[in-house]
Amino acid sequence: MLVNKNMIVEKTKQKIYEIGMDDMIEIDAAPNGNPIDYRNLNTQIHGAINENFTNIILNNVCGQRFIGAGLQGNIEITINGIPGNDLGIFMDGPIIKVNGNCEDQSGNTMNHGKMIIDGDGGDVIGLSSRGGKIYVKGDVGYRVGIHMKEYEDQFPTLIIGGTAKDFLGESMAGGKIIVLGLKILQDGTIIENPQPICGSELGTGIHRGAIFLRTDENIEDRLGVGAKIFELSEEDQKEIENDIKDFCETFNIPITTIDEKPFKVIKPISKRPFESNYCGYLV
């Protein structure tokens, strides 16, 4: 049953206004311990935005999907809990902060904005993202960064503080993925992640963009079709240094930690890695 959004907004307004924070609203995603349907939750989020709230806090989130779907403008959403699949799908401008882990496909077809995951990410993070930034403090799963793309001034950036699984950067058509190979413990201690920096089939089908791995591992046998390892150039260094600095500031990581290992860069061999598989009389 859908809850009357006006009643929720008005009730929360009264509480927030009392402490002088008239742009913030809190929404309980699981009142009395019972998670509400994702459609109900998104209806409440849109209702709050229509009432000109720009700082939305979602408490007790428990797997609700499509949070922040298609949102535009100067909006900040803080999520306390674990959001479900397709967090921020088609998002164009807002900031989403997750105080915990997230499930699959966060940032799906994201156009602009910023997503900060203060935990681990699931599979297929950044699927077909076209712009904006996605920061994951911990590890991520499989096929992360698949079909990332860029166009004119739209340029997506995905930074992973930990490690990734197989098919990282599959079929990339633009943007950049940075994997730092760190592990941040509960007490804030930062150590080198004991897991491999990435899995197999790295950069399979990549034909634009780049993957930056902070590692001294031999990753030659993990490369996918169309991918090649390059040494970090001065131009590459300039391209990633501001992003890494911002990531470190976001998660309170000393920037000097990054210098303890070198970077390897994965770029496409060709803009058409599967050209030999095409039918010659068709192209």
**What pLDDT, on the 0 to 100 scale, is given for residue 272?**
64
Residue 2 has pLDDT above 50, yes or no: no
**pLDDT digits 0-9 by tens, 5-26:** 454 445 444 444 333 457 999 9
Residues 6 or more apart whose CB falls under 8 angstroms from that of 6 comprise 47
**What pLDDT, on the 0 to 100 scale, is given for residue 151?**
85
Structural domains of the chain, ranges and CATH numbers in brackets: 119-277 (2.160.20.60)
pTM of the model: 0.89
**pLDDT digits 0-9 by tens, 61-83:** 999 999 999 999 999 999 999 99
Per-residue tokens: 209: 């963009």
Q: Give the residue, 271 or 177, on which the prediction is more confident.
A: 177
User: What is the bridge-based pairing of β-strands 24-28 and 55-62?
Assistant: parallel
Category of 67 on φ-ψ map: left (φ > 0), alpha (ψ -120 to 50) or beta:
beta
Report the 10 Å Cβ neighbour count for 70: 14
Helix (H) or strand (E) holding 106: none
Distance between CA atoms of residues 156 and 114, nearest Å: 10
